[in-house]
Each structure stands twice: as structure tokens, then as C-alpha cells.
Amino acid sequence: MASFVDLFAGIGGFHFAFKELECVFASEIEQNAQKTYLLNHPNTPLFGDITQKEVQDKIPAKFDILCGGFPCQAFSIAGLRKGFDDSRGILFFEIANIVKKHMPKVIFLENVKNLKSHNKGQTFLTIQTSLEKLGYYVFSEVLNSSTHANIPQNRERIFIVAFNKNKVKNYNDFSFPKPIKLTKTIKDCLEHSKQDDKFYYNNKSQYYKQLKKEILKKDTIYQLRRIYVRENKSNLCPTLTANMGTGGHNVPLILDDFGIRKLTPRECFNFQGYDNTLKLPNIAFSKLYMQAGNSITLPLVKRIAKQILKVL
């Protein structure tokens, strides 16, 4: 059976995508994400900070696939776009060091689409060149969850798949999945019963008057953007962000039969393509929102994983 390691593992999206394979090592620094990961993948050897030598030393000598949604804040529009000047940007080089030591057959990485254009393309070129120098052939593409995963969320991400040319002779057989028709709608991801009162806005909220005036349709998603409300007219959920649970800014809002409310954490995971078999621990909702915003869109990663396994 092929094996993989799961770096910057979050709640284990890559693990779900490769669930037929053996996960021999996982690393995630954030303790609440670790709780969600272990609840869903209880038998995985999960460790903390991958920058620590003692953690890297626990990676088995041999494995086939290295997965990682390495931290993207350094390259994101939402961040300051400092890239490699930000310590989070340098985490790519931790991946490169692990690759150099273990030389897996495949590297499978995910990041924000801005990684491609950051610093006039120099950041991405550095990443690509680093992998090529180690003997890998690099494929990359920006794909959207709404066009490639049948998920009604506007979420563009860059995916990097690199094959070890010495170990995978037919690497040129790889191709990213083609677009598929979007048949799911926002309603497919929403709960239709009354949700807990804490998700609803009432006249005690400073935003209530403004929301009541502007949120009038039940078949769309709105966003509260600090000082104004934006309707998403594309019939897609806007890109879910890691900070959507930390106050008014960026929270997706809907009008249901019972009032104006925020999406629940479970609905946010629905918009990432997880079904109800995903177990959520009893932790602060702000942490669950963060985990959903940081996660991969599962059906899209599954489609890419299938293409990788076809080549292997």
C-alpha cells in the first residue's frame, strides 16, 4: 500500500482525499486543529511544529507522497503579501528540506492563487526551481472549487504536483482534472431548520438595522464587510476565510425563514465539500470557522489525488 505524510495538516483534508492509503506521519501546530484531526483520523501519528528537528526526525525514512497546504497568509490578498519576508513564507523551505532528505515519489501542495503572482512571479519561481533542482518535474494550476469540484464556493487555489523523475518514469501522464458542471446550489450546503439563536442577529446588534435594510433575498449569500453589506450575485458562497469567526468582518450571512444569520461552522464545512461524517469537536465556534476557512475543498483535492494515483 502506498503511504503519505500530511504536513500543515489542519483538520486532515488531504488525509480524507487519500484515505485508501496509509498516513505514516502528520504534523499540525494549532492545538484545536489537532483535536479535529484526531477525532477524524484517530490512528494517525500526529505531531506539532514541523520546524522542530525532533519532529522532523519522526518522519519515517520512506513514504510515497508528501502533502501540504503550507501556510498561505504570507502570500494572500488578505495578508500583507510579504511572502518569503514573512516567517510563514519560509515554511516552504522546511518542505524542501524534508523532500531532500526523503525524496518521495510525489509532492502535492496547495496555496492561495496569489502565490503565482507574488513578487512579480519570483516567489513561485523560487519554489518551482527548488523542486526542479531536487529532480522533480513540477505541474501547477490555479483551480476554482466552483468550476472543478461541483461546490458552490468561489475559491481559487493554486495546486502544485511534482513527480520524482527518477522514481516515476511516466510522470508526463499526469494532468489536472478538467472543469465539471456546477449542479449544486447554495441551498445544497445550508441547513434548513432553525439554528441556535446565537447565529441570528436581533435588534440588540449594532448591525441589525443595516442588515435588515439590505438583506432581502433568501437565495443568495451576503457578506458584512466592516461598514457595508455586499450581496454575492454569482449564486456562489464567497471565499471562506480563516478570520470569518472573529467578529463582523467577512462573515457570510443569509436570510432564512427565521431571520438573518451567520452561516454555522457545519455549513462552512459543507461549502468545503465535507459531508456529515466529518466530526467536529466541542471547541469555540471561532476555531471551527478558522479551520473551515483554512481547509482545502475536499472534492477538488480528491479529483487531483485520483489523477496522481493513476500515474503511480
What amino acid positions are annotated as catalytic residues? Answer: 72
**How many whole angstroms separate alpha carbon 117 and alpha carbon 84?**
13
Residue 262: how many CB atoms within 10 A of its CB?
22
Q: Are 269 and 292 in contact (CB under 8 A)?
A: yes
* Partner residues linked to 231 by β-bridges: 222
Instruction: Name the strands in the sheet holding 22-27, side by side, starting at the edge strand that comes first in the sequence.
Output: 46-47, 22-27, 3-7, 65-68, 106-112, 156-164, 136-144
DSSP 78-95: SS---GGGSTTTTHHHHH
> Which ranges in the chain belong to alpha helices (H)?
13-17, 31-40, 53-56, 91-102, 114-117, 122-133, 145-148, 186-189, 208-214, 265-270, 285-294, 298-311
> What grid cell was written down for 160?
502544485
**How many whole angstroms separate alpha carbon 296 and alpha carbon 299?**
9
* Partner residues linked to 225 by β-bridges: 228
> What grid cell was written down for 306?
485520483
Per the listing, cell 443595516 goes with 210
**How many whole angstroms separate alpha carbon 109 and alpha carbon 92?**
10
**How many whole angstroms separate alpha carbon 291 and alpha carbon 243?**
10
Nearest one of 168, 156, 146 to 64, comparing CA atoms: 168
